A = this chain, B = another copy of it.
Amino acid sequence: MSALQSLKQHFQKIDNFNHLSSICNWDAAAMMPSGGNEARSRAMADLSVHIHQLKTAPQLEEWFGKAAQQTLSVQETAELREMKRTWQMANVLPVSLIEAKSLAGSKCEHAWRSQRVNNDWQGFAKNWQEVVTLSQQEAQIRAEATGLSPYDAMLDIYEPGTNSHTLSQTFDSIKSWLPSLIDEVVEKQSHQSIIQSSGTFATAKQKALGLQVMELLQFDFSHGRLDESVHPFCGGVASDVRITTRYNEQEFMQSLMGIVHETGHARYEQGLPVHLAGTPSGEARSMGIHESQSLFFEMQLGRSQAFINHLSRLATQQFTDHAPALFAPDNLIKLYTQVKKDFIRVDADELTYPAHVILRFEIERDLINGNISYKDVPELWDNKMQSYLGLSTAGNYKNGCMQDIHWTDGSFGYFPSYTLGAMNAAQFMAAMKQTVNVDETIRSGDLTPIFNWLSEKIWSKGSLLSTDELVKQATGETLNPLHFQEHLRSRYL
């Protein structure tokens, strides 16, 4: 057996244990009763240790050395590159730092749940200081191993190949037009009349509607399911994708569009190359590309006039005890494109969302690079919120810098993926429209040409190409934020 073959066999084994981890994580969120948590946590901890041992197995170094001497095809070269990346990621940090950060992160996150409610910045800062320090140490070690700057080394975990220099330029360009665009749109929308959602929407009907929309989006139910969890997510494995939603009987819109979003993630997973299943090159390219698919479904498809027409028809059929005016296409599209300057990222609309992300990017970049202190964060947050959205968070920590879970356990470098996803989604749509009559296709009810495009250009590529190369082959150019700007202006002005 060649060294590459040995590696592939070993990574297949890692994939098999990751499979069990994914299914049991889904179970914990969607199925497990509360009393099952303690034993499950113990079992999952042992599984993590086992997976880490497999990723750091001593024989891997020799195999990687020998494989580098083999003559490899283009595909094999990519396979080797991605396995090596996984291996290096697992080996770069000393176990003592992993454990210390995990401990500090758990402690900080756990306390944060009540501290946030109590707006207790002082209490939070006491725990968070250590998380930041350990994350800076982590970034330093990763930087030395990769030759990147500390923050870029953290970015690299989620977005291989992306760097904060380019990202800063991109975000600066967005900042140059976004605040005024938001003002313009808010002013424009202040004159429109909307019928707001009222009454109750039975969970069973919302679920039936969600399943119909998943059918329209060609979710493959022989390779996946829809269930419920407190925090909606897309989990499971590529051959068995588990998406979840949360139903609120006071309104139907959030869960419905949430399902569209998760279905985007799911179809990417379901469309990954089967012949590469089980090795890292067969996995999704990056968090930003994953998010580009969910946002393509949610923002590009889901909020288009043609798609809203389908939602209108299906919702009217489902919620027969409501006045149909609420579901009229014109009203539904107004509801789904309302813009509001507000404090909370997770509730933000398509237009204000990038402002929330850019703010976080700028702060975490400077924090991890050691240019600011954790103590500076509340004031910087307030300044930037005033500047981007005209809102002050002075003294309002719970709706300011304490609102997200990401930083509590030291997940620095993740936030940019959201807006990278939004920008890529807009660029994919612009490129797709050159060969596919997208609106007509959606109207027809058979969206196959759209999914064929995504499958051919994105899903089937797995991680064979770099992100830049993937985007370039799909759209003719690397990431260009003008498509995103164009999309927003055309939808909201």
Contact = CB atoms under 8 A, between A and B. Distances in A.
Contacts of A239: 35-36, 38-39
A182 to B, nearest CB: 42
Interface stretch (A42-50, A118-126, A318-326, A378-386): A42-50
A38 B43 CA distance: 24
A262 to B, nearest CB: 16
A27 B225 CA distance: 12
B225 A33 contact: yes
Nearest to A224: B33
Contact of A23 (B17, B27, B46): B27
Given A19-B43, A43-B19, A33 B237 contact: no
Interface in A1-56: 12-13, 16-17, 19-20, 23-24, 27, 31-36, 38-40, 42-43, 45-47, 50
A21 to B, nearest CB: 8
Nearest to A225: B33
Interface stretch (A153-161, A215-223, A363-371): A215-223
A249 interface: no
Interface in A264-306: 277-278
A240 interface: yes
A44 to B, nearest CB: 8
Interface string A231-262: 00000111110000000000000000000000
Contact of A222 (B23, B24, B34, B277): B34
Contacts of A42: 12, 16, 19, 278
B36 A240 contact: yes
Nearest to A46: B16
A33 B39 CA distance: 26
Contact of A277 (B19, B23, B39): B39
A238 B223 CA distance: 30
A282 B263 CA distance: 43
A413 to B, nearest CB: 30
Contact of A223 (B33, B45, B223, B236): B33
B20 A240 contact: no
Nearest to A236: B36
Contacts of A40: 19, 23, 240
B31 A43 contact: no
Contact of A240 (B39, B45, B222, B224): B39
A17 B35 contact: no
A45 B20 CA distance: 11
Contact of A17 (B46, B236, B278): B46
Given A13-B46, A46-B13, A50-B50, A223 B36 contact: yes
Nearest to A33: B222
Contacts of A16: 42-43, 45-47
B225 A47 contact: no
Contacts of A237: 36, 39
A19 B39 CA distance: 8
A31 B223 contact: no
Q: Which of A13, A23, A36, A237 has the most CB of B within 10 A?
A: A36
Nearest to A220: B35
Nearest to A13: B46
Interface-central residue, A13, A35, A224, A277, by most chain B CB under 10 Å: A35
Contacts of A224: 33, 35
Of listed A23, A225, A238, residue having the most chain B CB within 10 A: A23
A233 B34 CA distance: 21
A225 B31 contact: yes
A448 B10 CA distance: 53
Q: Which of A17, A45, A278 is most buried by chain B, counting CB atoms within 10 A of its CB?
A: A17
A35 B222 contact: yes
B223 A35 contact: yes
Given A16-B46, A23-B24, A39-B239, 13 more contacts: A13-B46, A16-B45, A17-B43, A20-B47, A23-B40, A32-B240, A33-B222, A33-B223, A33-B240, A35-B240, A36-B239, A39-B238, A50-B50
Nearest 4 pairs between A and B by C-beta?
A36-B240, A35-B223, A19-B43, A16-B43
24 contacts: A12-B42, A16-B42, A16-B45, A16-B47, A17-B46, A20-B43, A20-B47, A23-B23, A23-B40, A24-B24, A27-B27, A31-B225, A33-B221, A33-B222, A35-B224, A35-B239, A35-B240, A36-B239, A36-B240, A38-B239, A39-B237, A39-B239, A39-B277, A39-B278
